[in-house]
Each structure stands twice: as C-alpha cells, then as structure tokens.
Amino acid sequence: MVGSVLLERMRAEQDFDHVEPVFFSTSQVGAPGPDVGHGTAPLADANDVTAFRGLDAVISCQGGDYTKQMLPELRSAGWRGYWIDAASAKRMDDDTVIVLDPVNRDLIDRAVADGVRNFIGSNCTGLDLVVGTLFRAGLTVRSIAVGSLGGLAAAWGSPFLDAQAAHVTGAVLLAAGDPRGALGELRRAWVGWRDLDAPYEAARVRVLIGQACRELGDADGAAMELDAARSAFERLGAALDVARVDGLAGTVPAAARGRLTARELEVLGLVATGRTNRAIAAELVISERTVATHVSSILAKLGVSSRAGATAYDYEHGLAR
C-alpha cells in the first residue's frame, strides 16, 4: 500500500522510532516485511478487519477502491484510530481533512486537536505530516499499520525511486528553511525526471528550485526556473499549476477574484479552513444545500475539481483574504 518513498521519508524523520509498525499487503500476505529498525515480520492480511484491532493509526496508499471497502468496515467494527490516506475517494467527505504538503500544516494541527480521525493527502509522500502532528500533540500512538506494495523490494535503487527521493528530500529541506541544502537535492531530482522523460514532475521540481533560488537571494535564477516551469505546465495543459506559478511569480490573474461573488469568496475562505458544508451552513446561517451550490460554483469558476484544489488555489492566490 505505501510507496517506498514515503517509507524512506518516515525512516529519515525517525517516525518508526516512536511506534510499533505492522506492515500489511493485499497480495503478498505472509512474505517478509521491510526492516525499519524493529526486525522483520510476515506481512499481515490487509483485507482482514480483525488484523487491525488495537492499532492506533493506519497509513494507506492502496487506492480509492480499498479505502471505500475497508474504512467503513473498520469503523463499523468499532475501530477509532487515525486513517491516513491518499485516496481521492475520501477527499470530499465531511469527516475528512485534506493534507496539502506542507501548505495547510496549521489546519492539520488544529484538526488533530479537535479529534478528526480521517486525513487524506493529495499524494502519498506528504502523509507523514500527520504522523508528526500526532507525536507533537502528545497523543498515544503505540502501533501503526502501513502497507507494503508487492514490488516494494524491487523498487530500491531504481532511477524512479532516486528521482522521487531527491524530490521529496529537497521539498522537505526547503520547507524546513534550508534552501541551500534543498537546492542540490532538487537539481538532482530534476536531472532524474528529465532522464526519465517525466515532464510534469520535472516542472514541479523547477518550481521548488525557483523558490529555493528566491530564498537564497537569486532573483534572476528564480525567475528563470519559474518561467521554465510555467512553460512546461502550459504545454501539458496543467492549468492549476500554471495558476500556482503565476501566484509565486506575483502575476496572479486579476480576474480570478472578480469571477467569484462576495458570498462565494466567504464560502471559499471557510472551505480553506477545512470546515464541512454543515459547519459552513451553521456559521453563515444558510442551508447545507445552498453551501453545496456555492462550493460547486466555486470549483467550476476556479477550474478545479475538488475542495483540496480550491483550498490550494486560495492559499496561493489569497482570494478569500
């Protein structure tokens, strides 16, 4: 279930030092699991609800179909642990908080404090943000379930994994305030994605390189990297990424705010804080149906497909502030 990059990221941040990990698989039950400092143990059956009893948290990157099947079964069986996932099937649910690595870190912290149990990321590699928040909050997380793809062992040392690991490491260093350290990793990631003919990932890395250059005072380098990334996103038809680069470069389209009504801007601001439709309706003293209509209109006008996309757009462009 969980990608090898996330596994390595959790190793690097010593997450496994604080828990008793249990590794699951949907296809290789009984095979040896990875050693993350606790020795190896056979992979448990990811389809066996009873195998999850007593676990405080589950991290899954298995996909939407698995989440739609397993999470309701676990909740019905009385499991009250934390479900940390990257399945798009849960991103629109009212009992879920989106993980935008690391854009909405404050929201994640507040959600844990408020007792939220479902955290859904835009990709697998950012999910350890939630794990770190649980530790910082002082909550007891004794045992954690993580899945293992059938091909996990074969992935070690692959060019794809090397590029992904450098990408993630660079992003983490940049977020941690070390742009100089990040720059070397990000440039290595860019070379890897280029050699793998992965233009979208290469463009994403160039955005981060641009941000690192800006942090180091290299305005010309930052402008060059962001311009190159924008051109790549345009060729790929990645409109949301183009808008994000425009925001970083200070060229936010002036029409973006004008497309939304005053009420839609108000709703967008509340969506960006992680509130559910019910909570927004209560705060604005309107019906949930009206809130749902506003949310649908916001998504259509911004050209995004989810609440997570609208939240990211708002964070990058400041529409609702």
CATH of the domain at 83: 3.40.50.720
- DSSP characters for 88-155? GGGTT-TTEEEE-TTTTHHHHHHHHHTT--EEEESSGGGTHHHHHHHHHTT----EEEEEB-TTHHHH
Cα–Cα distance measured from residue 103 to residue 84, given in angstroms and rounded to the nearest whole number: 17
More confident: 206 or 66: 206
For residues 85 and 201, state if they share a domain: no
User: 56 lies in which domain range?
Assistant: 4-154
Claim to verify: residue 242 and residue 263 sit in the same structural domain: no
Q: What is the mean pLDDT of residues 216-221?
A: 86
Q: Indicate the DSSP class of residue 43.
A: P
The answer on pLDDT for 130 being more than 70 is no
Interhelix angle 307-317/239-249, nearest 10 degrees = 20
Same domain, 143 and 178: no
CA–CA gap between residue 129 and residue 99 (Å, rounded): 8
What pLDDT digit, counting tens, does each position of 251-305 carry? 444 445 557 788 888 898 888 888 889 989 988 888 888 898 888 888 877 777 7
Q: Which two tokens stand for residue 27?
A: 């296809």
Q: Do 165 and 130 share a domain, yes or no?
A: no
To which residue do tokens 């350290």 refer? 181
Average pLDDT over every residue of 107-131: 65
Rounded CA gap, 127 and 86, in Å? 8
Q: Write the pLDDT tens digit of every residue in 55-108.
A: 888 877 677 788 888 888 988 988 888 888 766 667 667 777 766 655 556 666
pLDDT at 203: 93
For residue 140, the model assigns a pLDDT of: 43
Sign of CA dihedral 175, 11, 151, 24: negative
* Selected residue with higher pLDDT from 90 and 181: 181
Domain boundary among 223, 249, 275: 249
pLDDT grade for 148, boundaries at 50, 70 and 90: very low
62 in Cβ contact with 25 (< 8 Å): no
Average pLDDT, integer, range 125-147: 49
Last residue of a domain, one of 249, 267, 288: 249
Same domain, 110 and 21: yes
Claim to verify: residue 10 and residue 149 sit in the same structural domain = yes
pLDDT of 293: 87
Query: Is residue 221 located within the same domain as residue 79?
Result: no
Same domain, 269 and 307: yes
**Taking the CB of residue 158, how many other CB atoms lie within 10 A of it?**
13
Number of domains in the chain: 3
CA angle 168/115/94 to nearest 5° reads 80
Same domain, 11 and 114: yes
For residues 169 and 282, membership in a common domain is answered with no
Put residue 37 in one of left, alpha, beta given phi > 0 → left and psi -120 to 50 → alpha: left
**pLDDT band for position 244 (50/70/90)?**
confident
Residue 190 pLDDT exceeds 90: yes
Tokens of 63: 């996909």
pLDDT at 319 over 70: no
CATH number at residue 280: 1.10.10.10
Mean pLDDT of 19-26: 79
Residue with tokens 């993350």: 36
The pLDDT value recorded for residue 209 is 93
Model confidence at 137: pLDDT above 50: no
Helix-, strand-, coil-residue percentages of the chain, each rounded to 5: 60, 10, 30
- Domain end: 227, 249, 271, which one? 249
Residues 149 and 21 in one domain: yes
- Tell me which of 36-50, 71-85, 206-220 is least confident: 36-50
CATH code of the domain containing 234: 1.25.40.10
* Residue 122 sits in the same domain as residue 163: no
| pLDDT in the model for residue 147 | 43
Burial classification of residue 160, based on how many CB atoms lie within 10 Å of its CB (0-12 exposed, 13-18 middle, 19 or more buried): middle
